Structure 1
Amino acid sequence: MSSTQPPPEIPSANPIDPVEHDYFTLNPAPASLQKHTSLARDFITTHASAGRRVVLVTSGGTTVPLERQTVRFIDNFSAGTRGATSAEYFLEAGYAVIFLYREFSLLPYSRHYSHATNCFLDFLHEGPNGSVLAREEYTEKMLAVLRKYQAAKRDNLLLTIPFVTINDYLFILRSIAQLMRPLGPSGLLYLAAAVSDFFVPNERMVEHKIQSTDASPNIRPQGAEDRQDQGQQDDEAFDNFDSSPLIPRSKRLVIDLDPVPKFLKNLVDGWAPEGMIVSFKLETDPEILVSKARYSLERYQHHLVIGNLLVTRKWEVVFVARSEEGEGIREEWIRVPRRRKTLSKIDIEVDREGGREDGGEKGKERPLDPKDLPDYEPEIEIESLIIPAVKKLHDTYIQRNTRES
């Protein structure tokens, strides 16, 4: 099939889900969907023919536009560090990687310089005859990164596909997940993107920029309401300015957001029912981290939920998954060693701690206290521990599903 032809829609294995039908019918598909779907199809076909595993890594945050011609939007803090770093380690582990990332967030390999405290130009200097050279102190590392990047591109092992909005993300995720269905258990979905929980449905979104002032007599600020139509008590119920001088309601912007439909279960039920699915749960409260990860595992039936706390996410994560026997849930903490010295394999495995089985309090692990963390960055990237552990679980998943089939 020519990549210029629009790719046919792959029917869902669960076509009667009304929420899925309504969302993907009422909201417009991104203009780039056909192009990106064709690229993903060719990429998956190539590596499936070679017997290579394919992983879809999602990365970065999704925006929530407030207007169709978007000027204002809601965003989150994610720079895509987890996803971009994980993609590199998946490539090292022998996977072909589809990297679905927020446009302008971090990319594999270039992240080493675009996210550095130094400006990228600080790594370079002018050589003889106007040539551009890497500074001597950075040359060895830059060469190693460059060689890995060039190898991934040369062997067509890395496909990057951008998104911006929550709508872009959901449409492209569904299309790629459906394309991965023929991979069966060899397909892996590693969902590290920070996905918005709320959005403005297309039918309620205004076309033009929301006005902040009624400078023109014919302009009424979007969201302004006639105070005469509402009692003072109703205004106060929505008043976020109690501690400041009264601001006229016509000057406020009240945004009414709907919850984004939860399609995480659809990945299992229809989009990629035989693939292994890994999702993340980020929290700020250590008291609820594990319970929320366990709840996600049960609710969405993914194969692994990786829990992490905002302040300790570079130092530790917790794997929450069903035991190999399929009965009960197991927790396993993976931690970066907290000491400055050359790390060996023994050092790493000492800090990889097995957790508890269902319900058992004995040996229960607690999240690290941020006050106990060193005042320096981890000496190794925690993704260098996460990805081998995920691959090991994927090995087991493939073996089990191959036997059952």
Structure 2
Amino acid sequence: MAAAAGGAAAAAAEAEGRVRAWAAAQAARGRRVALVTSGGTQVPLEARAVRFLENCSSGRRGAASAERLVGAGYGVCFLHRARSAFPWARALPPPGPALLDALRLTPGPPPGVAAAPAALPALLPALRAYRRAAEAGALLALEFTGLAEYLALLRAAARALAPFGSSVMFYLAAAVSDFYIPASEMPEHKIQSSEGPLQITMEMVPKMLSPLVKEWAPEAFVISFKLETDPSILIEKSRKALEKYRHQVVVANVLESRRTSVIIVTKDSETPLSLSDEEIAQGMEIEEKIVSYLQDQHTAFIEKKF
């Protein structure tokens, strides 16, 4: 366990150095920086883990938002769950028959692989946009799987970005577990089903918004996301989060309608954003409206600081 903790600390320190150097390059190019968190976290139920508690998230919102932020001129540090949606790679068919059917063998020598013509209309714009971002150094990807790994990387990245002040946006779209089992209370080996029904007591995960806002990056523009299944409590809980953590914005959304409508909640306002039927038919994503609105909010935040 000590070796694992040491390895995690070394990985976080390495990530902090990478983010600091990358952010300095963004600042030299006159870019603002956004740290986008994306995907769900995994919480082990055993020390030598076979079973896990998952926060279900495809990472689509984070990936779509990262694309829009790069397009808006931001450098994006993309802190994402392994194998979740990735910016621009979303245009690829999903792994399996759909992906294999989108590929064609080309005759040699040497033999090669090409995209099927039917796949090109979606792939070409995404590939061009990714290449532009990569060549401009505008995207830095950091990958996590477990909850502890996510928290360590978030802290490391925030510390690295703190010197850049109000030009930094934290766009916290990851679905982070609220519960975990402390290492001291976790069984070492696989839990045996022969022992009968399982009862687990889990503790609350310490909220990272408080140290992020107060200590790690106190000058940054911070956006959290609130997802509920009960619309009647959504705004109240969003406002309580703003009051408790003193950050700038909550993007509030309901599970069933999260891909077509959200409410941007600030200290002084509630602004609904939604897609019309025509916009949905045209393939527009709600993240385009979210990022456009929050970019203006970030500009106002920076101007207020000066």
| TM, length-normalised to structure 2 | 0.92
The residue number in structure 1 matching 2:234 is: 289
The residue number in structure 2 matching 1:170 is: 151
Distance, in Å, in 1 between the alignment partners of 2:282 and 2:245 is 32
Deviations 1:30-84 (Å, cap 9, x if unpaired)? Answer: 2522222222121112112332111100000011111222111100220111101
Work out the number of aligned pairs and report it: 300
Distance, in Å, in 1 between the alignment partners of 2:96 and 2:239 is 36
Identity of aligned residues (%): 40
Aligned alpha-carbon RMSD (Å): 2.1
Q: Which runs of 5+ in 2 are unaligned?
A: none
C-alpha displacement at 1:118, in angstroms? Answer: 6.8
Q: Which is richer in helix?
A: 2
Distance, in Å, in 2 between the alignment partners of 1:388 and 1:115 is 28
Q: Which is richer in strand?
A: 2
Q: Counterpart of 1:161 in 2: which secondary structure?
A: strand
The aligned runs of 1:249-264 (5 Å cut-off) are: 250-264=195-209
Distance, in Å, in 2 between the alignment partners of 1:60 and 1:157 is 20
Q: Which has the higher contact order (CA 8 A, sep 6+)?
A: 2
The residue number in structure 1 matching 2:124 is: 143
Change (3 A) 1:378 1:117: farther
Distance, in Å, in 2 between the alignment partners of 1:197 and 1:253 is 20
Distance, in Å, in 2 between the alignment partners of 1:73 and 1:138 is 36
Change (3 A) 1:379 1:141: closer
Deviations 1:200-253 (Å, cap 9, x if unpaired)? Answer: 11211222222233xxxxxxxxxxxxxxxxxxxxxxxxxxxxxxxxxxxx4122
8 Å CA contact 2:93, 2:102 repeated in 1: no
The residue number in structure 2 matching 1:208 is: 189
The residue number in structure 2 matching 1:278 is: 223
Whether 1:78 and 2:17 are equivalent positions in the alignment is no
Deviations 1:312-365 (Å, cap 9, x if unpaired)? Answer: 00110000012xxxxxx21000001123xxx5xxxxxxxxxxxxxxxxxxxxxx
The aligned runs of 1:173-212 (5 Å cut-off) are: 173-212=154-193
Distance, in Å, in 1 between the alignment partners of 2:191 and 2:118 is 50
Whether 1:156 and 2:137 are equivalent positions in the alignment is yes
Change (3 A) 1:140 1:260: same
| TM, length-normalised to structure 1 | 0.70
C-alpha displacement at 1:134, in angstroms? Answer: 1.9
**Larger Rg belongs to:** 1
Deviations 1:109-130 (Å, cap 9, x if unpaired)? Answer: 1122255897222222233434
Aligned residue among 115, 121, 126 for 2:105 = 126
8 Å CA contact 2:38, 2:174 repeated in 1: yes
Q: Which runs of 5+ in 1 are unaligned?
A: 1-26, 214-249, 323-328, 344-375
Distance, in Å, in 2 between the alignment partners of 1:128 and 1:207 is 53
**Runs of 4+ with >3 A deviation:** 114-118, 127-131
Distance, in Å, in 2 between the alignment partners of 1:115 and 1:382 is 22
